A and B are shown apart, each in its own frame.
Chain A
């Protein structure tokens, strides 16, 4: 089944404890991105990747890192989480970027930073 998977789905952590949220897609998509969803705000892009080893900042990159060593995986790293990073996170992928392709979203990761 074609899908985007994220792990974990739910996470409670404490300020400063490094964590990684994994994202994987099995559709051979070149483009992958991370979004966060906060109440009253639209989905906001954190980082995106056009292809392997090519990543760039989105609108709200502060406090996050990403890597794209393989085409299928795009982990989101919070080196020192803070309470303002409590949010719902979505990973998404598409075949490539540039002509309006549909984004396929993962199931979301709900993060609480205490």
Chain B
């Protein structure tokens, strides 16, 4: 069974700091890699769908890169805001979605 790992498990940053976290996986045999944002008491919402090696996606202050050869994806948040506080999940899309355990981000004002 493929194992998708995310690090760190949790992160506490000050408002205005930039931050990044990692999703790593052992295989390049997949259709896509998903990033989801999951706020407490809400449902996970899709951030990015990444499909190609070297793929880079951006949405406002959040961006993501994918390196299939090395087996990792990075999620970057520039100038973190308290509303960015959430758990960020990555998932490998193969014959099913394999989720990592998430990185829980807390941004303090």
What's the Cα separation between A45 and B92 when bound, in Å? 13
Contact, CB under 8 Å: A42 / B89: yes
User: How many A residues touch the partner, as a band?
Assistant: 20 to 34
**Considering residues A45, A103, A107, which has the most beta carbons from chain B within 10 angstroms of its beta carbon?**
A103
Q: Is B49 positioned at the interface, with any CB of A under 8 Å from its CB?
A: yes
B49 contact from A4, A43, A100, Cβ within 8 A? A100
Contact, CB under 8 Å: A103 / B97: yes
What's the Cα separation between A106 and B44 when bound, in Å? 8
User: How many B residues touch the partner, as a band?
Assistant: 20 to 34
Say what secondary structure dominates the interface of chain A: loop
Chain A 44-74 per-residue mask, 1 if CB under 8 angstroms from chain B, else 0: 1100100000000011000000000000000
- Known: A90-B44, A102-B49. Is A42-B93 also a contact (CB below 8 A)? no
Q: Is A108 positioned at the interface, with any CB of B under 8 Å from its CB?
A: yes
Chain A 91-114 per-residue mask, 1 if CB under 8 angstroms from chain B, else 0: 000000011111111111000000
What's the Cα separation between A29 and B43 when bound, in Å? 18
Contact, CB under 8 Å: A105 / B96: no
Q: Report chain A residues within 8 Å CB of B36.
A: 103, 105
What's the Cα separation between A58 and B45 when bound, in Å? 21
Segment of B10-18, B56-64, B74-82, B98-106 engaged in the interface with chain A: B98-106
Q: Is B42 positioned at the interface, with any CB of A under 8 Å from its CB?
A: yes
Contact, CB under 8 Å: A100 / B93: yes
Contact, CB under 8 Å: A99 / B31: yes
B99 contact from A4, A42, A48, A107, Cβ within 8 A? A42
Q: Which A residues are within 8 Å of any B CB, using their own CB?
A: 4, 33, 35, 40-45, 48, 58-59, 90, 98-108
